[in-house]
Amino acid sequence: MVHKITLIPGDGIGYEVSLAARRCIEATGVNIEWENVLAGSDALDKTGELLPQSALDSIKKNKVALKGPITTPIGTGFRSVNVAIRQALDLYACLRPAKSYLGVNSRFKDIDLVIVRENSEDLYAGIEFEEGKPETKNLIAQIQKDTKRLIRRDSGISIKPISKFASERIVKFAFEYALKNKRKKVTCVHKANIMKFTDGLFLKVAREVAQKYAGKIIFEEAIVDNMCMQLVQKPHNYDVLVLPNLYGDIISDLCAGLIGGLGIAPGANIGAELAVFEAVHGSAPKYKGKNRVNPTAMILSGALMLRYINEEKAADSLEEAVKQVIAEGKSVTYDLKADPLDPGAVGTAQMADAIIDKLKRI
Ligand code: NAD
């Protein structure tokens, strides 16, 4: 069977890591017809748009995409191409497994966490009111009238919407993921003690959904600040975490730190019918074109993609090949060496070559 998949190389280190991932995915033997589309700075140069409609149309048509990181230009007024793609396609679930690999320098061993981040609302909805604008002044006046609470006149305001609908579907997603993947526990992370009508709603809905899985999956709750400390002290106490958008973003990077860095942290953005697979890391512009960064996060995002298109065997082989190359510690990039200045570190393309070589023997 031929799978048609959209490939967005991204920008910055995007080209290097996407090419590495593409080569490794193809080496599993799965038959893929890639449709290359531009988004990010190259798209801006060629089409005048950071996110051309053609990129979104290609994902809608093919239903699955592999995407490299994209730089968020500062000062253009555009928040983020990455967030825009997730919102335009309603990719409501951000799935980010954080798993230890033998051979990676890290303070912890045997971490196996899965972050399920709500992707469509919260402070990332992008509804903001700039300081000094007439609409901001109107909003401040209205809030003062309705709540008798004072907001300073020189404030900027970001809106944090959290709905029952979006909370229910993300918590259900987390529990269904836990069931399907034989996980034991889902922890709902929140700040409901302070934000009673947003995080409070998220937590209330999570409790309701959890009841339907009682006896099958354990349900726990944790306040986000405490969760940060618990994850650093006792990460093995946790399994699947479900969080609103902002906390999910922050905790994802914390968990990437637990397993040894962004170079090995994969991710997926999943909606009802479409999915876009991408690493947790960004475009690391200072490394662009240097053949230096670790392609693993992008390759493992490719493994998640293979599972999503029901190519389980290929996904297992790809993960196994990555695992073996990292455990051997020879053909790995600088970030996986004990000393980042180790002259034995290989480049992005060479690490991909080693993984492809391993795949031939699995
Ligand atoms: P970043 O993730 O790009 O890089 C931070 C640092 O992490 C790098 O300097 C590097 O030391 C390390 N790193 C990242 N990827 C690595 C890899 N594959 N191998 C080895 N080390 C790696 O974060 P940033 O510098 O904050 O962001 C750069 C740009 O990327 C910004 O414009 C940001 O908005 C964007 N961004 C995009 C995405 C996305 O496309 N989904 C995600 C996060 C950030």
pLDDT tens by residue, 211-256: 999 999 999 999 999 999 999 999 999 999 999 999 999 999 999 9
- Is 253 found in the same domain as 339? no
Q: What mean pLDDT is predicted for residues 116-145?
A: 96
Q: Is the dihedral of CA 248, 253, 256, 258 positive or negative?
A: negative
- Is 357 found in the same domain as 315? yes
- Is 250 found in the same domain as 115? yes
The pLDDT tens digits for 272-293 are 999 999 999 999 999 999 999 9
User: Is the pLDDT score of 75 beyond 70?
Assistant: no
pTM of the entire predicted model: 0.94
Mutate to test the pocket of ligand 1, among 42, 283, 296, 351 (most ligand atoms within 8 A of CB): 283
Helices marked H in the chain — which ranges?
Answer: 14-27, 41-47, 53-62, 81-88, 134-147, 164-180, 199-211, 224-233, 245-259, 296-308, 312-328, 348-361
101 within a domain of the structure (yes/no)? no
Residue at which a domain ends, from 215, 240, 259? 259
Residue at which a domain ends, from 259, 291, 325? 259
- Kind and range of the H or E run holding 336: none
30 within a domain of the structure (yes/no)? yes
284 within a domain of the structure (yes/no)? yes
Residue 180 dihedral angles phi and psi, to the nearest 5°: -65, -35
Model confidence at 137, pLDDT cuts 50, 70, 90, reads very high
> What's the CA-to-centroid distance between 150 and ligand 1, angstroms?
38
102 within a domain of the structure (yes/no)? no
Return the residue whose CA atom lies nearest to atom 43 of ligand 1. 282
Are the C-beta atoms of 354 and 325 separated by less than 8 Å?
yes
CATH number at residue 310: 3.40.718.10
User: Is the pLDDT score of 192 beyond 90?
Assistant: yes
Number of residues that make up the chain: 362
Give the end-to-end CA distance of the chain in Å, rounded to a whole number.
Answer: 22
- Is 282 found in the same domain as 345? yes
- Is 111 found in the same domain as 250? yes
- Is 130 found in the same domain as 147? yes
Q: Nearest to residue 15, comparing CAs of 64, 57, 88, 71?
A: 71
Ligand 1 neighbour 321 (Cβ under 6 A): no
220 HSE (CA, 13 A, CB side): 14
Model confidence at 166, pLDDT cuts 50, 70, 90, reads very high
User: Is the pLDDT score of 77 beyond 70?
Assistant: no
pLDDT at 45: 87
CATH number at residue 192: 3.40.50
> What's the CA-to-centroid distance between 7 and ligand 1, angstroms?
19
Domain that holds residue 156: 125-160
Q: What mean pLDDT is predicted for residues 309-315?
A: 97
Residue at which a domain ends, from 232, 259, 286? 259
Ligand 1 neighbour 284 (Cβ under 6 A): yes
The pLDDT tens digits for 344-361 are 999 999 999 999 999 999
> What's the CA-to-centroid distance between 283 and ligand 1, angstroms?
5
Neighbours of 53 (CB within 10 A): 10
- Is 332 found in the same domain as 204? no
92 within a domain of the structure (yes/no)? yes
Using the 8-state DSSP alphabet, how is residue 36 labeled?
E
Q: Which residues contact 353 (CB under 8 A, 6 or more apart)?
A: 331
186 within a domain of the structure (yes/no)? yes
55 within a domain of the structure (yes/no)? yes
Q: Which residues contact 209 (CB under 8 A, 6 or more apart)?
A: 168, 171, 172, 175
- Is 282 found in the same domain as 241? no
Task: Kindly state the percentage of the chain with pLDDT values over 70.
Answer: 99
222 within a domain of the structure (yes/no)? yes
Mean residue pLDDT of the chain comes to: 96
Can you tell me the distance from the alpha carbon of 158 to that of 154, in angstroms, rounded to the nearest whole number? 14
Task: Kindly state the percentage of the chain with pLDDT values over 90.
Answer: 90
User: Is the pLDDT score of 76 beyond 70?
Assistant: no
Ligand 1 neighbour 82 (Cβ under 6 A): yes
- Is 70 found in the same domain as 150? no
Ligand 1 neighbour 329 (Cβ under 6 A): no
pLDDT at 78: 65
- Is 183 found in the same domain as 116? yes
- Is 176 found in the same domain as 149? no
Tokens encoding 247: 């906390």
Number of domains in the chain: 3
- Is 144 found in the same domain as 112? no
pLDDT at 335: 94
